[in-house]
Amino acid sequence: MKIVGLITEYNPFHNGHLYHIEKAKEITGADFVIVVMSGNYVQRGAPAIMPKHLRAEVALEAGVDILMELPVCYAVGSAEYFAAGAIDLFEQLGCVDSICFGSECGDYGLLARVAHILADEPEGYRQSLKEALKNGMSFPLARQTALTEYLQDDTLDSVLAQPNNILGIEYIKALYQRHSPMKSYTIKRMISGYHDTDLTGSYSSASAIRRLLSYTSQSVLLDKDGMFDEPSMSEVLSRLEGQVPPSCIRMLEETHHSRYPVYANDFSLLLKYRLLTETKESLTEYLDISEDLANRIINNANDFISFDQFSDQLKTRDMTLSRICRCLFHILLNIRKEDLLTYQEHGYCQYARILGFRKDARRLFALLKNRSQVPLVTKLTQTEKLSRTGLSMLKTDIFAANLYESIITNKYKMPFINEYQQQILRI
């Protein structure tokens, strides 16, 4: 029995994701696919556009056999934390043979070469990185500059500027540092770039699909004559046909303006409240928040209008917008540096939270029960096997999920569904 692991966000699920599932099984010869997916918050520092259970349901219908949730402390972390958490979870399951990830370049050899340099940190690379940081570059740009200089390859600039390439490098690095027996493969992304905002062919980016879904809320779509147009949901879904699987179209139609969309600005008042309770000293206790960023947050707090506006206001040359957004969600979700250090000391992921599975994957489920080195969590009321550290991590996940659900309740006037009430999906 061969098993391939995929690390995903499905925000939302589209044809490129379906291609990834099918191609991963083809090139690895896998019998089953296990997915580790971000929950209600994603790595770029934002809420997922729709709840995790909706995204999980579409993925299971598309052929995923078992879908697990990546703990929120990793899901909304840097690329390094995101990758380390996901790879560790696959390692702890004890039965995953390989992972397969998408990348813009599709060149596994190049990505592996860069990953090994980042893991080993040879002297020449370290000196170039130190010099670039001293010149005021953001860490991603400084690392990109140092790698280009060390490898003497100007083509690296375009490779290292692409988000899926960066994540792929971190996956390979995490496997390398753990001396993992899992093999890794990459698939070149189909046509659209990660940040493309327009629909393209049959493989548009999640960014383009999210942008189209936002039109029904923001009324900013221009028609062919350059006039403002407010499309109906049926028109939006018509444009998405051929871009996402039919099951996703059905889900989008049935849950629009009752379960989604959710945006960062929906958290604005909650964030403002949290910032009013903080000081410069207390802010530095949260993951990724430096003393300089803490000072800027406090000094600019009176100008706070919305989540997006405040994030833009805090952005500087040496700190990316994504990092700013992640830091603000670390404050909102109470994700602290000390907690991450504790988790790492005890082995990153403390459990495997299963959101759903296919009924014809019972053999895989039985294998997981026998092989997994961490408790499998299918019911939140059955946590007796969790350590104290595991309970702390799960508590954060539950709080984060309930906070997201509160946004839905307030925005769409829907009944609140506590995380304990959510049922495991069986397809």
Name the residue ranges covered by the structural domains of the chain: 206-255, 264-338
334 is in an annotated binding site: no
pLDDT tens per residue, range 177-232: 999 999 999 999 875 455 555 676 678 889 999 989 887 554 444 454 554 556 78
Tell me what the pLDDT averaged over the chain comes to.
93
135 known ligand binder:
no
* Run of H or E including 154: none
Q: Is 12 annotated in some ligand binding site?
A: yes
Q: Is 189 among the annotated ligand-binding positions? A: yes
Work out whether the CA dihedral 37, 40, 44, 49 comes out positive or negative. Answer: positive
Q: Give the pLDDT score at 120.
A: 97
Q: Are 116 and 150 in contact (CB under 8 A)?
A: no
Tell me: is residue 15 an annotated ligand-binding position: yes
- What pLDDT does residue 196 have? 57
- Cα-based distances in Å from 190 to 13, 61, 201, 205: 14, 21, 10, 9
Closest CA to 395 of 72, 50, 8, 40: 72
396: CB partners within 8 A, 6+ apart: 71, 72, 73, 333, 334, 335, 339
What's the pLDDT tens digit per position in 379-397? Answer: 999 899 999 999 999 999 9
Triad 168, 170, 173: Cα angle to 5°: 110
Instruction: Determine the pLDDT at residue 57.
Output: 97
Q: Is 7 annotated as a binding residue?
A: yes
pTM higher than 0.85: yes
Q: What are phi and psi of 355, to 5 degrees?
A: -90, -30
- The predicted structure's pLDDT at residue 222: 47
26 is in an annotated binding site: no
Check whether 304 is labelled as a binding-site residue: no
Residue with the bigger pLDDT between 115 and 202: it is: 115
pLDDT at 361 over 60: yes
What is the pLDDT, as a whole number, of residue 226?
A: 52
Tokens representing 410 are 């307030």
Q: Is 18 annotated as a binding residue?
A: yes
Look at residues 243, 241, 162, 169 and name the one whose alpha carbon lies nearest to residue 195. Answer: 162
Between residues 334 and 157, the one the model is more confident about: 334
Contact indicator for 357, 63 with CB cutoff of 8 Å: no
For 401, other C-beta atoms within 10 Å of its C-beta total: 24
**Tokens 């599975």 map to which residue?**
357
How many angstroms separate the Cα of 133 from the Cα of each of 146, 159, 169, 233, 318? 10, 20, 21, 47, 9
Indicate the range of 85-99, 217-231, 275-289 predicted with least confidence: 217-231
Mean pLDDT of 44-53: 97
16 marked as binding residue: yes
Which residues on neighbouring strands pair with residue 46, listed in sequence order?
42
To the question of whether residue 330 is assigned a binding role by annotation, the answer is no
Classify strands 352-357 and 376-377 as parallel, antiparallel or unpaired.
parallel
pLDDT at 197: 54
116 is in an annotated binding site: no
Annotation-wise, does 19 bind a ligand? yes
Interhelix angle 108-120/139-151, rounded to 10 degrees, is: 110
List, in sequence order, every beta strand (DSSP E) within 171-235.
183-188, 221-222, 228-229
**pLDDT in the model for residue 388:** 96
102 in a labelled binding site: yes
Say if CB 6 and CB 97 are below 8 A apart. no
Q: Let me know how many helices (H) and strands (E) the chain has, helices first.
A: 20, 12
- Residue 331 makes CB contacts below 8 A (sequence gap 6+) with 271, 274, 275, 278, 283, 286, 289
Tell me what pLDDT residue 220 has.
Answer: 44
* Distance (Å) of CA 423 to CA 357, 364, 372: 12, 20, 22
Strand partners, 188: 103
pLDDT of residue 193: 53
Q: How far apart are CA 118 and CA 92, in angstroms?
A: 24
